[in-house]
Structure 1
Amino acid sequence: MTNKILIIEDEENIARVLQLELEFEGYETDIAYTGTSGLIKYREGSFDLILLDLMLPEMHGLDVLKRIRATEQATPVILLTAKSEVEDKVKGLNLGANDYVTKPFEIDELLARIRNSIRFAKPKSSEKPAEEKDIHLLSYGQLSIHEQTREVLYFDKSVDLTPREYDLLLYLLKHPKQVLSREQILEAVWGFDYFGDTNVVDVYIRYIRQKLGLVNSTAIIKTVRGVGYVLKESAHET
């Protein structure tokens, strides 16, 4: 089966060259010249890989990436970046991009990265029967997380989290009403090989609280002074 690639690139000459090279290699392609149109084409179509420029009109490439990864993790995304965009490369990888190439790039290198990304792409989950669809939905109070789509809902509104913020909130949600120390959280979310300051937990808790607070001021993550944190819906809960 022919793989289909979505090219989101505002420079028409570059987009056209990419299209010709990819179609010569046997890929099907589609092109979008703005971030908004690229996101629409992604949502309306089915693609095996996305080539995503960062500096796009209407919507920045990182914002496009965030919305793609809020939907699913399977489709590989390769960023097309300028040499000066080091910070954006890091942000992109943290947001779930699979790889990046720096402009100007050699087409042979890009083709190799495309083949590699498609080869190791996560299999896309098939549609499940209705009774099985919510098997990965975790909820506590007004907070819900769907593990398959990584969608976070608070008071029925979507919350946009970074991968690390998501992992931290998911860990808290899997242990509701349980007081968790900073060390426990570090070990579970950052891993055994993390040697940084435990204050990083406080920083990320603050980020998550700010984002949840934009939806509703109810504080669901409580601080247990001298210990750590607990996910608890209200003060009167026992």
Structure 2
Amino acid sequence: MTKRVLIVDDEPPVIEVLKDFFRQFRHAHSYETESAKDGAEALIVLLQGKFDLILLDMHMPRMGGLELLKQVRGLGVKVPVIMITANADTKAAAEALSGGVFAYIPKPFDIRHLDHLVALAVSSGS
């Protein structure tokens, strides 16, 4: 079964690395990825289709990850969200977790850890 993943990050190299990771993951699913460069663009993409997982950067121009998370939850979208950020601020992590993210991981991240979290997130969202 194919799972749809939205990758939201303002750094194109990060998006490409994550897309490569999803091509390599060996779960019970294959992955189809789409991307957005900020929260505002991601909101448009989310309104156009259903996703099984969102990987979300916290700090982006126009609309950051926490604001997008609030908007997504306000729309009633229950998709699991993994927040990936260079910000190691524990207050921000607590805010993200209380806002309903599935997991919060700092950059640079370990691909094995991300692989494990993705498998858990898509199985919890099924």
Give the aligned partner of residue 6 of structure 2: 6
Letter of the 1:3 counterpart: K
Q: What's the secondary structure of 1:4's corresponding residue?
A: strand
* Aligned length in residues: 122
Counterparts of residues 56-205 of structure 1 (less than 5 Å) = 56-121=60-125
Which structure has more RCO (C-alpha within 8 Å, separation ≥ 6)?
2
Give the distance between the partners of 1:11 and 1:76, measured in 2 at CA. 22
Q: What's the secondary structure of 2:91's corresponding residue?
A: helix
Letter of the 1:4 counterpart: R
Counterparts of residues 13-28 of structure 1 (less than 5 Å) = 13-25=13-25, 26-28=30-32
Give the aligned partner of residue 36 of structure 2: 32
Q: What's the secondary structure of 2:33's corresponding residue?
A: strand
User: Normalising to structure 2: TM-score of the pair?
Assistant: 0.90
Letter of the 2:44 counterpart: I
Give the distance between the partners of 2:91 and 2:46, measured in 1 at CA. 25
Letter of the 1:61 counterpart: G
Asked whether the equivalents of residues 23 and 29 of structure 1 are also in contact (C-alpha less than 8 Å), the reply is no
Give the distance between the partners of 1:58 and 1:64, measured in 2 at CA. 10
RMSD of Structure 2 on Structure 1 (CA): 1.3
Asked whether the equivalents of residues 52 and 78 of structure 1 are also in contact (C-alpha less than 8 Å), the reply is yes
Asked whether the equivalents of residues 8 and 31 of structure 1 are also in contact (C-alpha less than 8 Å), the reply is yes
Instruction: For residue 73 of structure 1, report the CA deviation from its aligned partner.
Output: 4.9
Larger Rg, first or second structure (1 or 2): 1
Instruction: For residue 85 of structure 1, report the CA deviation from its aligned partner.
Output: 2.4
**Structure 2 residue runs without a partner (length 5+):** none
Q: What's the secondary structure of 1:78's corresponding residue?
A: strand
Letter of the 1:13 counterpart: P
Give the distance between the partners of 1:83 and 1:36, measured in 2 at CA. 20
Instruction: For residue 61 of structure 1, report the CA deviation from its aligned partner.
Output: 0.8
Identify which of 43, 46, 49 aligns with 1:42: 46
